[in-house]
Each structure stands twice: as structure tokens, then as C-alpha cells.
Amino acid sequence: MGLFDFLIVIAYFIFSFGIAVYYSRRAGKSTEEFFLSGRNLPWYLAGLSMVATTFAADTPLAVTELVAKNGIAGNWIWWNFAFGGILTVFFFARLWRRAGIMTEVEFAEIRYSGKPAKFLRGFRAVYLGLFMNVIIMGWVNKALAIILIGLFGIAETQVYYYVFACMLMVAAYSALSGLWGVVVTDAFQFFIAMAGCIVLAILVVNSSSIGGIEGLQNKLPNFMFNFFPDLSSVKSVGGAFALTVTSFLAYIGIIWWASWYPGAEPGGGGYVAQRMMSAKDEKHSLFATLFFQVTHYALRPWPWIIVGLCSLALYPELADNAKGMGYIYAMRDFLPAGLKGLLVAAFFAAYMSTIATQLNWGTSYIINDFYRRFLIKDKDEKHYVKSSRAATIILMLISLVVTLLITRISGAWEFIMECGAGVGLVLILRWFWWRVNAWSEISAMITPFVIYPLLILFDIKFPDTLLILVPSTSIVWLIVTFLTEPTSNEVLESFYRRIHPGGRLWKKVSDSLPDVKSDGNFLIMFVNWVFGVILVYSILFGIGNLIFGYFTEFIISLLLSILSVFVIYRNLSKQGWESIVK
């Protein structure tokens, strides 16, 4: 990198920190401002923040690795989550905003009763806010270290000093500005990151080494451009990415609703729930989440996919466990001065947006749902804001220690998905079935940890582990549900009055509350979900068809996306926004 490149990166850091300073006074007013932006986020800021958070430093590398190993179809390992994401849009986004709580885990004490509810809230606060959160930040830190080594040749023994410096800055602006600063910085960082990735894709594919899209297609086997895996056999057919029908069904039929994964929680959760609860009203909550799903799955992946395909032609000598480095080498070899600084700033932006959200979100659990709920209960808001800022720094330090223990990023992904296998169904049904209780969630969270060692013993690998973990966990929590006492009628009636989710599975409670009317039409929500899924995949594959010159398929995709928008808009208009805007 030249002087101009470094000046661009420095300017990026200064501007990002300036946003934090600007919002620091507003964030210091209360914990609601610090963690929820005063529940006043417009849909576009909330949606952009969700998208920016899921664009971590490791994401382009991971997609490059998937594409280099298995072609475009390799992305089904995460494309399948769109089913669950759209379910969140139409079934849960408004309910989260309607709940009026500060964090996802606070839900436990408005939905369940007694000591189990208290235990669940405290346990999930520590489990998600600390344990899971530092693993997530650890793999993001690890990815940044890999990027710095690949770009600048920094020694592995020294690279973590740079990671520490970067994370210290993120922790500082996150602690200063709260969610307002995080969200506004996310929007700025997202546009920087996407601009850099698009520019890189255009330069690399049009370089003399590739020769445009047609040249790329001539350099690689045809199967690399397939949008779907080959389901005809267990082994590759002519080199194509192949899955058994069972494995593919595990991806598209089980994982999205059965497993907990950050950013794709069944029913919404984590920082996605935080943004939904921060929105101005229920309408903004729904639109923010829909914008997130379409942008995340359909609009954003193609620059990464193009570079991933190009890297396979440019760097065929890379070992399987280093395919992701093709993205870094493409940056190094094809970006001119100035643009190289822009893309380095883009990677810092991707890194910082994710870490800032994880710090703010994790701290909200630790302070609101553990420290304030169980330890120090009667202090003023200034005390809890100061405690939140201190907890942000402590969380950062713990995550740095965990970073040093992570050896394989994809291993951390698989471990988290397996830890949450089978939890998804209870997270969905707790909104719509009165009989689910605190013990249902507790048993669903514990069961995977009991079964997982046995799977290791018998050498069962991911994703086949999910075919055992999901049904086992589901059976356990259902048995536990019926063997334990239900939530008290008082809490159930209070929850139904607040949320009024409707549905036959609440009939026992709703019959005793004839004055509470549900505004949820499940048939319309289901139709919206189906067409929402069609919308995401039609845009995703439509863009791909346009890029590769499949114009007939592009027209079909375009018509499907237009039809989907029409149906969803008509259904939402017919439902009447005045009934859900509070």
C-alpha cells in the first residue's frame, strides 16, 4: 500500500470515531438509549445495521472458500437460512417490537413464571452474552488476523497486537456511543465495505488474466456455475458439488428452523431482535427485517462469489484449507493505489461493524439481565450506563483471550450450530403455544451438550450430527414440557394481553380474555412467508442469471420477484397497518 492508501484508511478510522463522539451524550442518558436507541430507529437504519453486522471480516473469505471448493452451489450451507429469516419477518418482527422489553433474554420473565423463569433469564444472559459471544468475536478476530497476515506479511507472532489495537478502538466507540453510534457507523461502514467489494469484483473479472465473464466461464468447468448441488449420488459427478438427498434436505428442511445460529435465530433473536425492538414501531420493525433478509441473501453475495470463482482460476495452487486466501491475494494483486486503501478500509469496516454490535448486544445481556436483575438492583440510570461501558471493555478483553485459542474458523461455526441444534423449535413455539414453559427451553439448551460427546466418540461429522441432535433434543424438551408444571395463568394472561399472538394453541388462554383481539391472520402470514422466500431466491438467482448471461432465466426470476412484491404488498395493505402501528 502507498501513502494515499494509508491516508484513506486513517480517514476512515477518524470518521468512524467521530460518529461515536457525536452520539456519546445521547447514549449516556439511559440504558434504553444505550442499548435500544430510545426505540426510535427508522427501518432503513435498523435494517442496514443488521446487514452490516452479518458482513464480518471473515465473510468474503468464507464465501470464497465455499465457491472455490464447491462452486456457487456451495453457498447453500448458509442460503438455507433464508427460510427462517423470512419466517421472522412475517411472524415475529412485530411481536418482538410489541413485547416492549430491552433484550431477548428478558423475554423469559414475561413469558414464564417462578424460579425457572429467573434461572433461564440469568443463564441465557451469561450463556449468550458471554460464552457464545466471545466465541463469535474470537473467530472474527481470527479472520482479521489472517487478512492482515495475507495483505501485509505481518508475522503471526505479532499480528494479534494489531488486532488488539483495532478491537480497542471498536470497544471505545461502542462504549461511548451505545447503539445509536453503532447503528449509524454500521450504515457508513456497510456502504464502504460493499463499494470496495464491488470494485474488486469488477477489476478482477475484467482483468487480462480472466477476460471478463465469458473468459471466466471458459477457464472453469461448467459445474462451478451451477446454482444447485447435484443430488444424484454421494460422490461428485464429473467434479460437481454433490450432496445426498438426505444431506440437502438437512440444509433446506432442518437447519434453518432447528438450529440456533447468530443472525439467523429461529423466531429472531440476538442482535436481530435488538434491532427489531429498537425500531420506531411494528411497521418499521417488519420492514427493517425484510430489508435485511433481501439484502443479506440476495443482493450482497455476488461480488464475493465472482472473486471466489476468479481466485480459483488465478491461484489454483492454493491448498483446500487456504482457498479463502484467494480473496486477499486478489486484493493484493489487482487493486491500484487508492482503491487498495479503500478495500482495506472496507475490511476494517466489516470487522468493526460486527464487533461493535457483538459488544453492545452482549453487554446488554450482562448488564440488563444479570448485573441489574440479580446483583445491583436499585441504582440510577447513570450507574448502569457507566457499568455498561465498563462491561464493554471487559468483554473485549475476554474475547481477545478466546481468539488465541481458536485454530479453525469453520470449526467454530459448526460447533455453535451443533450447540444450538434442536433449540429452534421451542424458540418458535414459545410465542404460539401456551404449554411451552421455562423448563422446555432449559432442557433444549442442555441436551445437545449431553449428546455431543457421544457423536464425537462415534466419529459422526457435521452436518450429519444435526440429524441426530435435532430429533433427540426435540423429543427431550417435549417430554420435559409435559412432565413439568405449566406457566402460571397470571403470567400467561399478562403475556397474551401484551403480545396477543392469537392462534388455536393459545385457545385455553384466549377464551378467558374475550376482550383481547388478535390482529394476526396466520393464513396471510403464511402466504407472505412463501412469497417472501420466493422473493429472496428469485432476486438471488435473477442477479446470477443476469451476470452469466442467462437472459431467459433472468426474465423468469424478475417476473417471480415482481409477483412476490405485489402479493406481499397487497396482503400487508389489506391487513391494515393502523392495527399494528403502536
User: Rounded CA gap, 341 and 306, in Å?
Assistant: 21
Most confident of 159-163, 236-240, 287-291, 468-472: 287-291
Which CATH superfamily includes the segment(s) 1-17+42-409?
Sodium/glucose cotransporter (1.20.1730.10)
Give the pLDDT confidence score for residue 452 in this predicted structure. 86
| pLDDT score at 233 | 53
Residue 397 has pLDDT above 50, yes or no: yes
- What's the CA gap between 173 and 171, in Å, rounded? 6
Kindly state the cell numbers that stand for 81. 437460512
pLDDT over 60 at 236, yes or no: no
For residue 343, give the DSSP letter: H
- Phi then psi for residue 192, to 5 deg, are -65, -45
Q: Confidence class of residue 228 from pLDDT cuts 50, 70 and 90?
A: confident
Least confident of 239-253, 335-349, 379-393, 563-577: 239-253
The answer on pLDDT for 28 being more than 80 is no
Please say if the pLDDT value at position 86 is more than 50. yes
Reply yes or no on whether the pLDDT at 388 is more than 60.
yes
How many percent of the chain have pLDDT more than 70?
93
Q: Does residue 580 surpass a pLDDT of 50?
A: no
Q: What is the pLDDT of residues 501-553, one digit of tens each?
A: 988 999 999 999 988 887 778 899 999 999 999 999 999 999 999 999 999 99
**Is the CB of residue 181 less than 8 Å from the CB of residue 27?**
yes
Q: What is the pLDDT of residue 257?
A: 83
Q: What is the largest CA-CA distance in the chain?
A: 73
Residues 320-324, mean pLDDT to the nearest whole number: 75
Residue 267: all three cell numbers together: 423466531
**What's the rounded mean pLDDT across residues 57-69?**
84
pLDDT given for residue 234 in this prediction: 47
Residue 133 is predicted with a pLDDT of 87
- State residue 554's pLDDT score: 96
**pLDDT score for 237:** 43
Mean pLDDT across 251-262: 76
Least confident of 311-315, 390-394, 570-574: 570-574
Task: Print the SS3 string covering 144-209.
Answer: HHHHHHHHHCCCCCCHHHHHHHHHHHHHHHHHHHHHHHHHHHHHHHHHHHHHHHHHHHHHHHCCCC
More confident residue, 113 or 20: 113
Where residue 411 falls among pLDDT bands split at 50, 70, 90? low
Reply yes or no on whether the pLDDT at 117 is more than 80: yes
What number is the average pLDDT over the span 239-252? 66
Contact 564, 531 (CB under 8 A): yes
Non-local (6+) Cβ contacts of 38 within 8 A are 32, 180
Cα 299 to Cα 105: distance, rounded to the nearest angstrom: 31
Rounded to the nearest 10 degrees, what angle do helices 325-334 and 133-152 cross at? 40
Task: Say if CB 179 and CB 278 are below 8 A apart.
Answer: yes
DSSP string of 388-455?
HHHHHHHHHHHHHHHHTT---HHHHHHHHHHHTBTTHHHHHHTTT-TT--HHHHHHHHHHHHHHHHHH
pLDDT value, residue 579: 43
Q: pLDDT digit string (tens) for 33-58?
A: 888 888 899 999 999 999 988 887 77
What per-residue confidence (pLDDT) applies to 87? 94
Instruction: Report the distance separating Cα 578 and Cα 178, nearest Å.
Output: 31
Contact between 334 and 203 under an 8 Å Cβ cutoff? The reply is: yes
Mean pLDDT of all residues belonging to the chain: 87
Q: Where do the domains of the chain lie?
A: 1-17+42-409
Q: Which of 110-124, 221-235, 306-320 has the lowest mean pLDDT?
A: 221-235
- With 80 as the cut, is the pLDDT of residue 461 above it? no
Q: 354 pLDDT exceeds 80? A: yes
